[in-house]
Amino acid sequence: MMRGSVGRFLAIAFAVGAVLGLGLSAQAQTKKFKIGVIFDLTGPLAGGGSELQYLGVKIMNDYFIKQGPIEGYTIEAVYADAQSKPDVAINEAVRLMEQEKVDMIAGIYSSAQCVPIAARVEQMKKFMWMTTCVSTGVVENKHYKYVFRPQASGQQYGQTTTDMVAQIAKSHFGKEPKDMRVAIIHEDGAYGVDVGKGNVAGAKKAGMNIVLDEGYSATAPDLSALVTKLKRARPDVVFHTGYNPDISLILRQAREQGFKTGGIIGQGAGYGVYEKLAESLGGHAEYFFNTDPVSIWIANPKAIDPSLQPLIKMVGEEFDKLKPGQTIRSAHVGIGASNMYVFFTKVLPVAIKKYGGVDAEALRKAALDVDIPEGGTMLGFGVKFAPPESPIAGQNERSYPVVIQYIGDKPYVVWPKSLAQRDVVLPWPAGMTYSNK
């Protein structure tokens, strides 16, 4: 009897242990990494580029979700709509961290939202991966530990465009840089102010004559007074940083008032949404410019890691399914996709394997380990984040934008010269609505 009882006991214990073991095994196999993604899916910022950035991020998230677990962790993405309102964006970030229990915050289009969200994420000791917003002020002198941005910074945008104009002044305008009259206009949020600072710094460095430097509200119902100032200033070139519909409003009122100039050089956001820009100009945005990281579909394939080409093709095909009939695949889509790809391949697996998990500290250490050379991302640039002691801690120091020009409903890189696909068309040719020729 004793032996039978012991046998039955051992059998039951073995069965229970097996069940528990299976449960623990299943639990181990279903570890989850949860990403909270914030973009403006409604409101004016949605059409200014936020929705396109969201699509790029979502395409890459979905791709890795379908690939299966990364080092034993399944991926889950939770999406939130910031509604083009900073207060909503902050509330959504807090909700995602506190209620949804996400492991990190990603995305964010507007710099005006990035600035306060970054502070809140740091305070809560979570991890933030900024795919999109560009304001230098998000990271400058903050020394954040858990906030990282693979994206180029706003002041780089402003300095890139002014450098282009300064270097072609003599050959294209027949003027020395000091004789070039330039106007700088921008929306007055964190994004526009930061790019505008880059414009001012670049113009002063080149010795150009700044005839107007003014911000405006992106939600202003009337910008005719600003157009009047532009007319009086008579700039050879206008550097413009805006979203949409403010770009459309300025261009419409400039047309109505007969404003003429040598060229308007757009710097990200709404200028990267060709369909909207062309619509505001009557169907075509011929000879207009945009400044952004290079579109992954027009980057020189010989300058990019060959292993990335299938991913570039995949992103394009998925975008075409989601947005059929687009004249140009927006650079915004590629920016979102490329920056998330870097996270999934260079940060997350390293955090798990080398640093033991997916908490903010492990992700931070893995991000600081990233060392991607030039040509190692779909956007062409490399990735190396500034360390915590740097004034721009968390910023990718190898990122940069390019200037593209729309010609014949196609985007061409025109600056820097080392990446240019064709020469810059400046000043604008005679016959254009805004040309002063």
CATH number for position 271:
3.40.50.2300
- 214 phi/psi in degrees, rounded to 5: -145, 140
Is residue 301 assigned to a domain?
A: no
Q: Is residue 344 part of a domain?
A: yes
Q: What is the pLDDT of residue 29?
A: 56
Mean pLDDT estimate for the chain? 91
Amino acid at 181: R
The stretch 171-194 carries a mean pLDDT of 95
Q: What is the extent of the structural domain holding 37? A: 31-152+309-369
Reported pTM = 0.84
**Same domain, yes or no: 363 and 255:** no
Distance between terminal CA atoms of the chain? 109
Residues 217 and 165 in one domain: yes
Judgement on whether residues 279 and 346 belong to the same structural domain of the protein: no
Q: What are the C-alpha distances in Å from 293 to residues 34, 51, 156, 178?
A: 27, 17, 11, 28
How many domains does the structure of the chain reveal? 2
Rounded to whole angstroms, the Cα distance separating 260 from 234 reads: 8
169 plus 284 within the same structural domain: yes
Asked whether residue 46 falls in the same domain as residue 142, the answer is: yes
Whether 24 maps to a domain, the answer reads no
On the question of pLDDT at 353 being above 90, the answer is yes
How far is 374 from 50, CA to CA, in rounded Å?
27
Residue 139 in domain: yes
Strands 237-241 and 209-216: unpaired
Residues 100 and 191 in one domain: no
| Amino acid (one-letter) located at 270 | G
425 in a structural domain: no
User: How do strand 402-407 and strand 289-292 relate by DSSP bridges?
Assistant: antiparallel
Sequence letter at residue 315: V
Q: What is the pLDDT of residue 95?
A: 98
**Residue 361 domain flag:** yes
The partner residues of 396 in beta bridges, in order of sequence, read 385
Residues 113 and 168 in one domain: no
Q: Cβ(137)–Cβ(181) under 8 Å?
A: no
pLDDT for 232-270, tens place per residue?
Answer: 999 999 999 998 889 999 999 999 999 999 999 999 888
Stretch (H or E) spanning 219:
none
Residue 19, in any domain of the structure: no
- Assess if residue 379 is contained within a domain: no
Output the CA torsion 338→191→40→151 (10° steps): 10
State the amino acid at position 263 in one-letter form.
G
Do 131 and 163 fall within a single domain? no
Q: Do 49 and 135 sit in the same domain of this protein?
A: yes
Task: Indicate if 257 and 406 belong to the same structural domain.
Answer: yes
**Chain centroid, CA 230 distance in Å:** 29
Q: For the chain, what is the largest distance between any 2 Cα atoms, rounded to a whole number of angstroms?
A: 109
Q: How many CA atoms within 13 Å lie on the side-chain side of 163?
A: 15
Number of residues that this document lists for the chain: 437
Whether 277 and 242 share a structural domain: yes
Whether 106 and 69 share a structural domain: yes
Q: Is the pLDDT of residue 5 over 80?
A: no
